A and B are shown apart, each in its own frame.
Chain A
Amino acid sequence: MMSAYLDFIRIRFLTMLAYRVNYYSGIVIYAINIGAYYFLWKAIFGSAETLQGFTLAQMTTYIAVSWMARAFYFNNLDREIANDIRDGSIAMQLIRPYSYLFVKMMQGLGEGLFRLILFMGPGLFIVCLLFPVKLPKDPSVWIIYFIMLMFSLFINSQLNILTGLAAFFVENNEGMMRMKRVLVDLFSGVLIPIAFFPGWLKSTMEWLPFQAITYLPSAVFTGRTPMSEAWGVLGLQALWFFILLVPIMFTWRAARKRLFVQGG
Chain B
Amino acid sequence: MLYAVLFWEYIKNYAKTRLTYRADFWVEVLSDMMFQGMNLIFILVVFQHTPSLGGWTESEVVFVYGFFMIPYGIFSTFFGMWNFSERYIVKGEMDRILTRPAHNLFQVLLENVDPPSLIGSVVGAIIMAVCWNDLGLAFHWYYVLIMLLFVLGAVLVYAGIYTALSAISFFSDAPTGIVPLIYNVQNYGRYPVNIYNKTIRFVLTWLLPFAFVGVIPASYFLEKKADDLSQLAWFTPVMGIIVFSLGLAVWNYGVKRYRGAGS
Contacts and interface: CB of A to CB of B under 8 A. Distances in A.
A39 B50 contact: no
B49 A172 contact: no
B46 to A, nearest CB: 5
Given A172-B21, A172-B23, A196-B46, 9 more contacts: A26-B177, A40-B53, A44-B49, A172-B27, A175-B30, A175-B31, A182-B34, A186-B41, A191-B42
Given A179-B34, A191-B42, A48 B50 contact: yes
A148 B42 CA distance: 26
A33 B54 CA distance: 19
A117 to B, nearest CB: 20
Interface string B1-44: 00000000000000000000101100110110011001001100
A5 B200 CA distance: 47
Interface stretch (B96-104, B182-190, B255-263): B182-190
Contacts of A28: 181
B178 A25 contact: yes
Contacts, number: 85
Interface string B169-201: 000000111101100110110011001110010
Given A32-B184, A33-B184, A178-B31, A44 B53 contact: yes
A182 B181 contact: no
Given A175-B30, A192-B42, A196-B48, A39 B181 contact: no
Interface in B138-178: 175-178
- Chain B: interface size category: 35 or more
16 contacts: A29-B180, A32-B181, A36-B188, A39-B197, A40-B46, A40-B53, A44-B50, A46-B52, A172-B23, A176-B27, A178-B31, A179-B31, A182-B35, A186-B38, A192-B45, A196-B48
Interface string B46-71: 10111011100000000000000000
A99 to B, nearest CB: 31
A25 B180 contact: yes
A126 B200 CA distance: 18
A43 B42 contact: no
Contact of A39 (B28, B35, B48, B200): B200
Given A40-B195, A174-B27, A51 B49 contact: yes
B5 to A, nearest CB: 33
Interface residues of A, number: 34
Given A43-B195, A175-B27, A186-B41, A29 B48 contact: no
A196 B234 CA distance: 38
Given A25-B181, A186-B38, A191-B42, A36 B49 contact: no
Contacts of B178: 25
Contact of B196 (A39, A45, A175, A179): A39
A29 to B, nearest CB: 5
Contacts of B197: 39
A22 interface: yes
Nearest to A37: B42
